Structures are given as C-alpha cells and as structure tokens.
Structure 1
Amino acid sequence: MKGKEWYQTAEVAEEYEDKRFSRGGRLIDRQEKEAVSSALGDLKGKKVLEIAAGTGRFSVMLAARGADVIGLDISDAMLSQGRQKARGAGLSDRVEFVRGDAARLPFPDDHFDAVLAMRFFHLIPNPDRYLREIRRVTTDRLVFDTFNTPSSRSIYNWLLPMGSRLYDDDDVRAMLDRTGYELADSSHDFLLPYGLYRAIPRSLADGLYRIESGLRHTEVGDDFASVSYWSVRVS
C-alpha cells in the first residue's frame, strides 16, 4: 500500500483533520457524514465496525447516534486521536478503537450488524479479499465509498501520498457480484477535486458546491462524480 509508513506517523495523525477538514474541507466532512448517516439508517442498539477508522470522526458520530462501535485502523497514532475525540464527546463507553488488519479481522463470524469502510477501498490492491472478510463478520450491511474514473481525481491522483485505486460503476458492481453482496443503494458527489475545496474558505466552498450541484444531479454529473457512496447487503 503506497504511503503506509507516512500514514502511521504521529505528525500526520496530529495534523490530519486540520489539513483535510478545516476551511472548505468542513463541507467535505459534512457531505460524507450525511451520506453515511443516510445509508446506515437507524443505529440504536446496533453493533457497527468501522474499518480504516483513522481519527474516529465517523466512529464517534455513529456512537452518538446510538451504535456500539469498534473503530479499527493500522495506525496507533490515528487511533490515539480517535480515543481523545471519544472522550471529549463523552462516548468512550460506546466506541472502542482497536489496531488491526482489515484483511484478518479479529472478530467472530456474524459479529456486527453493519460495517463502514470510508476512505479505504481506494488504498487496497485486492478489494475482493477484504470484501469477503467483511462479509464474514457482518450479518447485514456494508457502506463504503470509492474514488472514480473518469473524474477530476484522475488528473492528480498520482501526486497523492497514499495514491488511489480508481473505480467505475461496472468495476464496483462486478466486485460485489464476485464477493456475495447485493447493491441496495448508491449516490455520487463532488465534480470538483477535494483539494480545491480544502484550499478555499468555507463560505467560498459552499458557493462553489451550490454552483456545481446543477450538474451533479444529472446523468452526466453521476458519470463524472469524483466520489461514490455504496450501500450493500450480504446476499
């Protein structure tokens, strides 16, 4: 995995959210959380695993919505940030952070009601392997995102520290068929690059996002969206 060592450093963990989800990046954070909340629905009393939990921005949100959450990541430094976030929100009793490998999940079969894997599938060379392992531990639902081709991300993808595997709609559907999932729903977002939104103030980002929304909700907009959110069920 490109950038694996870079990702696990304490310096990257400490600056991660500031660099990605401040200024216009707050718009990205909002859109992703809305997509995840919509896809997972009512979580009260549910057991949820978040893979690639990072600094815990989704894990803590899911715990606040009533789920019992385990956030798994390869980076101790990232998980430390997540624990701080959970303590600050008063949710340490509802969310646990565990270091582990998503290809060999340390949980029994059918242990979770749902699994969330955001900012993950673009990093891995063999997604089928991970999808089968996720399928083993969940009884119902997987929600994940992909970065897409063709899209604006294709232009600068090779420059990114972690790189990206890019997908099109047929890639994802074939992958789900091979690994025993049924597509429940999907949505698509962001025609313009994330990097552009992060570089500008939130007020400008909101205005730019409204301008692109006219195209984004058309067939052409779906075809060229930078990111897609997928909600799938175990078949």
Structure 2
Amino acid sequence: MKGKEWYQADDVAQEYDSKRFSRGGRLIDSREKRAVVDAIGPVEGENILEIACGTGRFTVMLAERGADIVGIDISDAMLSQGRAKARSAGVADHIEFLRGDAARLPFPDDHFDAVFAMRFFHLADTPTKFLTEMARVSKDLVFFDTFNRRSTRVAYNWLLPMGSHLYSRSQVDRLLDAAGVRLVGAEHDFGLPYGFYRKLPNGLAQQFRDVDTAVGETAVGDALASVSYWTTSVA
C-alpha cells in the first residue's frame, strides 16, 4: 500500500500515535515538537495553519500555548483523532479541524501569521504547488521538513517502499525558488532513521540518540542527517 492510501486508513489513524511515538518514538516526538516551537516562536494570540495535521500532535500543542490554529488534512480518520485529542486537552475552542486539499487552500492571501507542515513533503506529489499555497496564505513564516536523499533513509525506503520522496539540497533550493520563499534557517538531524528508534525501548533509544546527536554536531553531521527542518519567509 502506498503512503497516501495507507495514511487515510481508519486503523492507521487509531494506532498512529501509539505506534510511532511510544517507546523510542518519544524522542522523535519531542524533537519534532521542539523544531516547530523553535521555528514559530511565541504563539500566544497568533493565527496559525497546520498542513497535514494528522492526529493533532502539533495542533493541540500550539493551542495549549495560546495559538488560534486551523489544522487541515485529507484523512477523516486522522481528523477524528485530532478532535478527540483537542477535547481531552481542553483546547477545542482554539482549533478548527478541516478536511481539505493542501494544493487549494480555502483561505485568502496573507491570512495566517505562520503556516507549517510536518511529515508531509515526503508524500507530496506536487511539492511546488503545495509550498506555493502555503506561502500564499502566510503573512511571513513558512516551516516544513523533508527526508534527505543521502542518508540512512534510503535503506528504510528500500525496505518499506511506500512512495516516500527523498530530497537533495539542490531540490529543496529549487523548491524554495519556485514557491517564492526565502530560506532563513535550516537544521539537520537524525543520522539514524525514525524507524530504528521506534523499535527500541525508550532507555536504549536514548543511548543511541546521544551518539546520533554527538555525530550530528560534527562536520559530517549535516551530510548524514536523514531529516531537515526548513524555516522560510515570504517577506
């Protein structure tokens, strides 16, 4: 089953968080949330859009920090999980979950203070169209991540062929140019792919993560990274 079809299945939505962000996956969840917070900054009172919000991991987190946020996704099953999570956290009044197409966002130009997408562009069949739409509806900040071509992610894709797209730096640069956004910051992380961490107990995963982080801080760290976080501006 290809990535997009798999993603929209009801049973996948029900088990998505528990399978990916328990055990060693907690380290991934924590790092991704830190990447989003670092990129967007203080969010209290800000109007934010999340593309491919899934089960609302980031949507609910930002609402808890005071944001008014819209989460859009193609999967009704994922959105249902997100709504339940928002109600449980007591922030449902600050979140609107919408089913929709990220290539045709139902919002006017310059509508949001920030727009972001996590774990989306590896499944995007028309990335330029998606990023252009994200830039259109943002007043300034656009943030997203990619999986990298020259990394251990290549082996992961070979073992689990779900149609994930891996990006080179030159492809990302062309994508930014085509969408009319300017790069203002980039971080690169995870020499070991996500799937490796998810298989390990949290304590053992932390030991590998410590080594991974140490290597990432060396001169070769960026070249080995399987994930990149891109902070861009439309200004």
TM-score (normalizing by structure 1): 0.96
What is the match of residue 29 of structure 2? 29
RMSD, aligned α-carbons: 1.3
| Distance (Å, rounded) in 2 between the aligned partners of 1:3 and 1:120 | 11
What is the match of residue 91 of structure 1? 91
SS in 1 for 2:172: helix
Pairwise CA distance, 1:125: 2.1
Are 1:124 and 2:157 an aligned pair? no
CA contact (8 A) 1:146 1:227 kept: yes
Deviations 1:144-182 (A, max 9, x none): 000001000011214436431111222112211121111
Deviations 1:115-151 (A, max 9, x none): 1100001111221111111111111101100000100
Are 1:226 and 2:230 an aligned pair? no
SS in 2 for 1:144: strand
What is the match of residue 193 of structure 1? 193
How many residue pairs are counted as aligned between the two chains?
A: 235
| Distance (Å, rounded) in 2 between the aligned partners of 1:159 and 1:49 | 33
| Distance (Å, rounded) in 2 between the aligned partners of 1:116 and 1:125 | 17
5+ residue gaps, structure 1, are none
| Distance (Å, rounded) in 1 between the aligned partners of 2:229 and 2:130 | 17
Are 1:63 and 2:51 an aligned pair? no
| Distance (Å, rounded) in 1 between the aligned partners of 2:52 and 2:96 | 13
What is the match of residue 44 of structure 2? 44
5+ residue gaps, structure 2, are none
SS in 1 for 2:113: strand
| Distance (Å, rounded) in 1 between the aligned partners of 2:230 and 2:3 | 25
SS in 2 for 1:55: coil
CA contact (8 A) 1:158 1:164 kept: no
TM-score (normalizing by structure 2): 0.96
What percent identity do the matched residue pairs reach?
61
What is the match of residue 178 of structure 2? 178
CA contact (8 A) 1:39 1:143 kept: yes
SS in 2 for 1:167: coil
What is the match of residue 54 of structure 2? 54
Deviations 1:11-63 (A, max 9, x none): 11000111110100000000100111001101111110000000000000111
What is the match of residue 75 of structure 2? 75
SS in 2 for 1:93: helix
CA contact (8 A) 2:3 2:123 kept: no
What is the match of residue 164 of structure 1? 164
What is the match of residue 105 of structure 1? 105
